[in-house]
């Protein structure tokens, strides 16, 4: 599936529930990893042709359309019906607003599975094998058909559970306990917040949060930038690491480039850091080489240790303890010492 094909879908996000198990808290606005749950979901479906959020309008990380069931708060089937009225694509992604680990890859998988088979919907199942109809891709026409049937049979959609809607659809199920994880309780929120700080997730989560906060959409080669930071820290100085990565990003922005411009700027900066490191190593090697003088504390080659007399030298010996001072030539004689009294 090409990127153009994957973009031909609409998304409906249900965000107007009462969150009774959270004590009535504003669940779509609860933050996990520094981002509101609703914004995390909107980030996963950002290439939808139209995104409709069924809830009261609020600030979001990207523009969306707003819809509301009438009257508000009468259940997910009525909310889905209200959202579908603003869509036109053949395929529709239907999501809840409390999915902290939903990613664009999961969205692409759902759409690819829907288009690859004859079914009318593809949904995720959780770790216990339960259907999650609000993490799913459907044929829009099939949803409208079943909504019309329910409306005719019951005279309205208020109070109906989603399983009454999906029971009439031919569905494919895809197990995914992570992407289907939803936050119904404060314990779920705590678990989600703990998971994103695990070693294997924290960098990706942080980069996604920063990009959302800064309003940028750029694929970041994390490994490339970490290697550059390491080279700058080791080859120059530790504070050079963050400054160098900032300058690389600034250079890529000045060039109005994308990931390729970042990679090229990083390559140049890494090569410069390597040259700095090589110069430092060469200087260390140079200063470690002998310079013709002995290290401090040693005598020059060919001399006697301090405090001894060179052999054959004409010296004046001075006896200090019970001896006489003599100016005689002592060449070839023993070191001066006390003489016994002559007999």
Whole-angstrom distance, CA of residue 70 vs CA of residue 79: 8
Token pair 């100085």: residue: 237
Question: What value does the mean pLDDT take over residues 317-333?
Answer: 41
> What integer pLDDT is reported at residue 187 of this predicted model?
92
Whole-angstrom distance, CA of residue 245 vs CA of residue 238: 12
> What integer pLDDT is reported at residue 200 of this predicted model?
66
Whole-angstrom distance, CA of residue 109 vs CA of residue 107: 5
Question: What value does the mean pLDDT take over residues 86-91?
Answer: 96
> What integer pLDDT is reported at residue 107 of this predicted model?
96
Is residue 109 within 8 Å of residue 123, measured between CB atoms?
no
**∠ CA 233-235-238, rounded to 5°:** 20
Task: Mention every residue, 6+ apart, whose C-beta is less than 8 A from residue 68.
Answer: 16, 54, 55, 56, 82
Question: What value does the mean pLDDT take over residues 89-100?
Answer: 96
pLDDT band at 337 (very low <50, low <70, confident <90, very high): very low
pLDDT band at 286 (very low <50, low <70, confident <90, very high): confident
The yes-or-no verdict on residue 251 having pLDDT over 60 is yes
Question: Residue 276: which H helix or E strand, with range?
Answer: helix 259-288
> What integer pLDDT is reported at residue 334 of this predicted model?
43
Q: What number of residues does the chain have?
A: 343
Considering only residues 184 and 314, tell me which one the structure prediction assigns the higher pLDDT.
184
Considering only residues 204 and 251, tell me which one the structure prediction assigns the higher pLDDT.
251
Q: Over the stretch 68-82, which tens digit does the pLDDT of each residue have? A: 998 888 899 999 999
What value does the mean pLDDT of the chain take? 81
Is residue 239 within 8 Å of residue 197, measured between CB atoms?
no
pLDDT band at 314 (very low <50, low <70, confident <90, very high): very low
Question: What value does the mean pLDDT take over residues 173-186?
Answer: 93
Dihedral (C-alpha) 145, 150, 155, 161: value to the nearest 10 degrees?
-130
pLDDT band at 120 (very low <50, low <70, confident <90, very high): very high
Predicted structure pTM score: 0.68
Q: Over the stretch 9-56, which tens digit does the pLDDT of each residue have? A: 999 999 987 677 777 778 899 999 888 999 999 999 999 999 999 999
Considering only residues 4 and 169, tell me which one the structure prediction assigns the higher pLDDT.
169
Lowest mean pLDDT among 28-37, 265-274, 283-292: 283-292
């Amino acid at each position: 599936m090409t990127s153009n094909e994957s973009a031909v879908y609409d998304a409906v996000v249900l965000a107007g529930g009462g969150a009774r198990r959270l004590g009535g808290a504003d669940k779509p606005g609860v933050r996990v990893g520094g981002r509101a749950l609703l914004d995390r979901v909107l980030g996963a479906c950002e290439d939808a042709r139209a995104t409709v959020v069924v809830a009261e309008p609020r600030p979001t990380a990207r523009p969306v359309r707003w819809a509301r069931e009438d009257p508000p708060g009468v259940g997910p089937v009525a909310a889905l019906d209200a959202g579908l009225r603003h869509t036109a694509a053949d395929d529709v992604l239907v999501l809840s607003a409390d999915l902290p680990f939903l990613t664009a890859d999961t969205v692409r998988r759902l759409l690819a599975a829907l288009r690859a088979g004859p079914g009318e919907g593809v949904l995720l199942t959780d770790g216990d094998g339960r259907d999650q109809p609000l993490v799913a891709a459907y044929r829009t026409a099939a949803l409208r058909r079943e909504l019309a049937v329910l409306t005719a049979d019951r005279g309205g959609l208020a109070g109906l559970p989603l399983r009454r809607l999906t029971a009439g659809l031919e569905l494919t199920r895809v197990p995914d306990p992570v992407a289907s994880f939803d936050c119904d309780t404060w314990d779920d929120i705590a678990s989600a917040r703990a998971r994103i700080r695990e070693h294997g997730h924290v960098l990706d989560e942080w980069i996604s949060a920063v990009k959302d906060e800064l309003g940028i959409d750029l694929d970041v080669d994390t490994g490339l930038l970490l290697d550059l930071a390491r080279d700058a820290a080791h080859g120059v100085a530790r504070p050079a690491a963050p400054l160098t990565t900032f300058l690389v990003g600034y250079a890529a922005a000045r060039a109005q480039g994308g990931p390729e411009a970042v990679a090229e700027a990083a390559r140049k900066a890494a090569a410069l850091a390597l040259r700095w490191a090589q110069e430092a190593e060469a200087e260390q090697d140079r200063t470690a080489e002998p310079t013709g003088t002995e290290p401090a504390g040693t005598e020059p080659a060919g001399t006697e240790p301090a405090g001894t007399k060179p052999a054959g030298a004409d010296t004046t010996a001075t006896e200090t303890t019970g001896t006489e001072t003599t100016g005689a030539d002592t060449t070839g004689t023993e070191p001066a010492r006390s003489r016994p009294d002559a007999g």
